[in-house]
Chains A and B, each alone.
Chain A
Amino acid sequence: GAGVSQSPSNKVTEKGKDVELRCDPISGHTALYWYRQSLGQGLEFLIYFQGNSAPDKSGLPSDRFSAERTGGSVSTLTIQRTQQEDSAVYLCASSLTATGDTDTQYFGPGTRLTVL
């Protein structure tokens, strides 16, 4: 079946502009995660959605970052007033459940964001 998909694959933007990154999880997966992968920082957790519950936003680095998940499926990560330090690869992952033997996270190919 189809895996996790993300769009766009690459995004170049100017400092101060807003960007939207999209994630389509595997069909039927209830849990969805966003991570950021940047040089020197490794992979950092950003935000987590589980079903219709309130998201865990504890990893968002600033209030310029926000995310939503519509209908328990597609998720959009929005970065407002982008800064150069936002340049990174943004990875999305989904899992069938959040716990137990079906909690393995499957990742999308990521969006490489470059802020000029």
Chain B
Amino acid sequence: AQTVTQSQPEMSVQEAETVTLSCTYDTSESDYYLFWYKQPPSRQMILVIRQEAYKQQNATENRFSVNFQKAAKSFSLKISDSQLGDAAMYFCAYRSPRPYSGAGSYQLTFGKGTKLSVIP
């Protein structure tokens, strides 16, 4: 079974600075999908960024970018020019390209999350 590990339960960053959140995963598959979700206190999980394992180019979305190291099974999230609104829980998630069971589920496997605080 796949596992996702986020080794930093909490992180803090000064406003306007850059912070990197770590994520590692364990899988025997060669093609898969990786995601970073943000969960503010409102509880709404918001997709931040998505990466397909077959793509060598790191995904970017405005101030958010990833460092995808396939061989090392590492998928870190870099937030540049941090803003107060970036304060939230961040979850790394993995999705297999194949269904987990006969019924064909493609559920996400999540890490435990990293709580990011932004200091004004």
Contact = CB atoms under 8 A, between A and B. Distances in A.
Given A56-B101, A58-B100, A45 B108 contact: yes
A66 B68 CA distance: 38
Interface string B80-103: 000000000001000101011101
Chain A residues touching B, range: 20 to 34
Interface string B37-76: 1000011111100100000000000000000000000000
Contacts of A109: 42-44
B110 interface: yes
Contacts, number: 69
Contact of B106 (A31, A58, A110): A31
Interface string A54-95: 111111000000000000000000000000000001010100
Given A54-B103, A55-B103, A58-B100, A104 B108 contact: no
B99 to A, nearest CB: 8
B44 A48 contact: no
A58 to B, nearest CB: 5
Interface of B: 33, 35, 37, 42-47, 50, 91, 95, 97, 99-101, 103-113
8 contacts: A42-B110, A42-B111, A48-B104, A56-B100, A56-B107, A104-B50, A110-B43, A112-B43
Given A35-B107, A45-B108, A58-B103, 5 more contacts: A31-B106, A56-B107, A98-B106, A103-B106, A107-B44
